[in-house]
Structures are given as C-alpha cells and as structure tokens.
Amino acid sequence: MSKTATLEYNGVKYEFPVTVGTENEIAMDIKTLRAQSGMITLDPGYKNTGSCESAITYLDGEKGILRYRGYTIEELAEKADFLEVAYLLIFGELPTRVQLDQFHEDIKDQSVVDEDMKKILDSFPKSAHPMGVLASLTSALIAFNPSSVNVTSEEDMYRAIVKLLAKFPVLVAWTLRKKEGLPLDYGDDTLGYVENVAKMMFKKPNKEYKKNDIVINALDKLLILHADHEQNCSTSTVRMVGSSHAGLFASISAGISALWGPLHGGANQAVIEMLEGIKADGGDTKKYMAKAKDKNDPFRLMGFGHRVYKNFDPRARIIKKAADEVLSDLGVNDPILEIAKSLEKEALEDQYFIDRKLYPNVDFYSGIIYRALGIPTEMFTVMFALGRLPGWIAQWREMRLKDEPIGRPRQVYIGENQRTFVDIDQR
C-alpha cells in the first residue's frame, strides 16, 4: 500500500503522508495542505474528516461492528457491568477486582454534592427540560470545584475523573426528583454504582426502596450500550471545548448541550413522542412512512438512520431483544412497542429506506425500555448522558494527554467583499 497520496491542482502535485489505523482505516494526513498549496478542505458535517487518532472505540458502519478498547459491544453488554466498562474506556484495560473495588471506593468518597447546589436547582421552574437543568448543574459544579486539572499529574487527572463520576449521578437523580417534586436525597454507599443511581432516582420518601434486579440489569445494559461512540457530535464537542484547555466539567457540560438535540441523543425522547403521536392518530404506520419519505414534509422517522452505520446498528439489535425481555419480565404491555415493530418492519422492506441504508438506531427501542422502567420521557436523554459520561471523560483525557492543538476549523468565506460604511441617515 502506498504511503503517500498525491493531490493535483492547477498542474502542481502535492504529496501527503497516508496514515493507516490498526483496523486498516486509511487517512490522508493533510496537516501541511494549506502551507503547501494555499488550499483548505471543505467538508460540512465533517462527513469525511478524521478529527483525531483515537485508541478508545472502533466502529465499522458497513459491518455493524462496535468495540470499546477492542472488546465487542455484544460481549461487554452481556458480561461486564457499567463501572467496569467506564474503567475500561477511561484507562484502557479491564480492571482487576482490586482495581475496580478501589475505583468504586474512590467514587463513593466523592459522592456528596455541595448543599448550595440545591439552591441553584431550586431556582429552576419544574417545567424546565431536564437536559437544560443537567447541563447547568454540571457547569455549576465548576464553581464548587474551581481548581483546574493539572493534566501532567495522573493523580490530579484521576481525582477530577472520580469526582465527576461520583457527583454526576446525584445531579441526574436530582434533576428527576425536582421534576417530580421529590426530596433531594443522596445515595447509599453500600450499593453498586448503577443500583445506587436507581435508588437515588426512584426512592419515595414514604416507602422503603426495594431493589428490582430486572430494572438494575436493564439500566446497566443501556448505560453500557451508550457509553461511547467515537467522534459523534457531543464527544467532538467535549474534545473541542477541552482543546481550549477549559476544564473537564466545562467540557462535559458543553457535551450535554450537544447531546440534547433530536438528531443526536434527543432522538430517544423524539421517538417515544413520535410513536405516541402515531398511536393517538389511530396507529396508521403507513401514513407516517409516507410522511417520512415525502421531501416536502419535514417529518423524519426518528430513531432511524445513522451517520456511520449503513448496515445495522449493533446496539439497536441488543436493545430490541432487551426491550422484549424487560417488558415481559416486568409484565408491561406497551402498545407503542407493537407500533415500533410495525414501523421497523415496513421501513426495512421499503425501497426508500433500503436505498439510503436507513436502519433502526440505538434510540429506536431504548425509550420503550426507559418508559417500562418508570422513567419519564423528558428524562431519556439525561439517561443517555449518564451512559455517555465515561466515553466523554475517556475522550477528553486522551485528548489532553496527547496535548492536541486547539480545535479551530477554517471556512470558505462567501460574504460581501470590502464595502464602504454608509452613514445611518444615508441608508
């Protein structure tokens, strides 16, 4: 394989080195493009642009492969727990029992949030969207933990990571409890990480909390499936913000805002709202299939399509199976599951979707499980954020350890050329 790529423009040839990843992904390294040729590349949406070299997550959209640090998502979802996966993503190796216990102890040590944070939460209306609340609270954490991380110190870095993994679930739970008008409690450090999150979210003040293994296992699986997805919109945001040497919490807060949009993590809420809408409209899935294909109609089939997956989303396969199991185990009969299955079947047989390689993505069935677990629709993207947290942290850490340059794309200017100012009375 040639180690250089040649670009020709106006009769002049420019040579660029070619980088090959461990899974044979080929990239033309254009770091010297502008210096050599005066040209830049134009790639809206970064569809062809690799922003970094990364050793965290591997994704093959054609074959439907997703691996964290080399381990398949199927195996991790079946055999690992969320904290183990978090450790793997952030530090690169599966932890030993001793390492995992220590990691968990360190997290538990930091799992109290400054009581003044409650005053901030109190000032939000109950109607506020949980994602806005979560992004604000995560930003507010900076005010209570102002020292910036010294990235040359592994110990400093570790402390910041542990703090965030400890306090974030409390904020997630408080976001839900505020919405539901419940008292803001802390966790129980005798419990596992995910079990503790579930208790913080669901515990009622007048009832003893009873652990439900079906709920814990389903949550664990969902969080693992969402834990990282290489350079998606929110992760790229985290890396971009972090590249200015803004702190970890500030970078994560920006990532939460990026995740909120319905084209990204917000799709899980949008899917349920869409399925509810179809049900309320008589359950005519064909009508909505037609709307999704109509170029004059802005309606899209939410939970369908992916920038990278062009065959199937391996996470969606696992989630679909889990949705069936969880609903049956919990004895929940949700009519929108049937609507979702009909839509999927019709879409997979429809030429429009086949031609464009549109398949159900991770968000198509996840909301159905969250709903069965008793989580309100507006909280779904918050749950995605909780799952994605280790991925964001891992990507931020990787970027800071490599001391990557500040993210600063260029543009092709298409505005007015220089003009002379016209005084306001003469316009």
Which residues are within 8 A (CB) of 236 and not within 5 positions of it... i.e. 6 or more apart?
46, 51, 258
DSSP 113-145: --TTHHHHHHTS-TTS-HHHHHHHHHHHHHHHS
* Out of 77, 301, 379, 389, the residue judged to bind ligand CMC by CB under 6 A: 301
- Is 306 one of the catalytic residues? yes
Contact window for ligand CMC (CB under 6 A) among 125-133, 327-335, 337-345, 356-364:
356-364
305/391 with CB nearer ligand CMC: 305
Q: How far is CA 331 from the centre of its chain?
A: 30
165/274 with CB nearer ligand CMC: 274
DSSP 182-196: -------TTS-HHHH
Q: Helix H segments across 203-281?
A: 213-225, 233-242, 248-260, 267-280
159 makes contact with ligand CMC (CB under 6 A): no
For residue 346, the minimal CB distance to ligand CMC (Å) is 12
361 makes contact with ligand CMC (CB under 6 A): yes
- Is 363 one of the catalytic residues? yes
Count the neighbouring beta carbons within 10 Å of the beta carbon of residue 256: 28
50/192 with CB nearer ligand CMC: 50
Which residues are within 8 A (CB) of 282 and not within 5 positions of it... i.e. 6 or more apart?
none
* Out of 247, 303, 367, 390, the residue judged to bind ligand CMC by CB under 6 A: 303
For residue 362, the minimal CB distance to ligand CMC (Å) is 5
254/267 with CB nearer ligand CMC: 267
| Per-residue three-class SS string for 291-309 | HHHCCCCCCCCCCECCCCC
Interface positions, 75-134, toward ligand CMC (CB under 6 A): none
247/265 with CB nearer ligand CMC: 265
Structure tokens at 141: 């954490």
Q: Helix H segments across 145-227?
A: 154-180, 193-202, 213-225
230 makes contact with ligand CMC (CB under 6 A): no
300 makes contact with ligand CMC (CB under 6 A): yes
Q: Which stretches of 10-96 are assigned E, i.e. beta strand?
A: 12-20, 26-28, 57-60, 65-68, 71-72
232 makes contact with ligand CMC (CB under 6 A): yes
Contact window for ligand CMC (CB under 6 A) among 23-31, 102-110, 319-327, 357-365:
357-365
Q: How far is CA 86 from CA 256, 306, 388, 391, in A?
A: 17, 24, 9, 7
356 makes contact with ligand CMC (CB under 6 A): yes
CA dist 402 and 385 (Å) reads: 25
CB hemisphere CA count around 30 (13 angstroms): 17
Q: Name residue 128's amino acid.
A: A
Mask for 257-296, x = binds ligand CMC (CB under 6 A): ------xxx-x------------------------x----
CA dist 67 and 304 (Å) reads: 21
Query: Which of 59, 7, 5, 68 lies closest to 38 in space, CA to CA?
Result: 7
59/149 with CB nearer ligand CMC: 59
Interface positions, 307-336, toward ligand CMC (CB under 6 A): 307
Q: Number of residues interacting with ligand CMC: please give it, by CB under 6 A.
A: 20
Q: Which helix (H) or strand (E) holds 6?
A: strand 4-9
For residue 301, the minimal CB distance to ligand CMC (Å) is 4
85/358 with CB nearer ligand CMC: 358
For residue 359, the minimal CB distance to ligand CMC (Å) is 10
CA dist 68 and 57 (Å) reads: 5
* Out of 141, 274, 358, 382, the residue judged to bind ligand CMC by CB under 6 A: 358
Mask for 27-56, x = binds ligand CMC (CB under 6 A): ------------------x-----------
* Out of 305, 367, 390, 391, the residue judged to bind ligand CMC by CB under 6 A: 305
Structure tokens at 425: 């009375």
Name the catalytic one among 81, 220, 313, 363.
363
Name the catalytic one among 229, 264, 306, 313.
306
231 makes contact with ligand CMC (CB under 6 A): no
Which residues belong to the active site?
A: 306, 363
Q: Where does this chain bind ligand CMC (CB under 6 A)?
A: 45, 232, 263-265, 267, 292, 300-307, 356, 358, 361-363
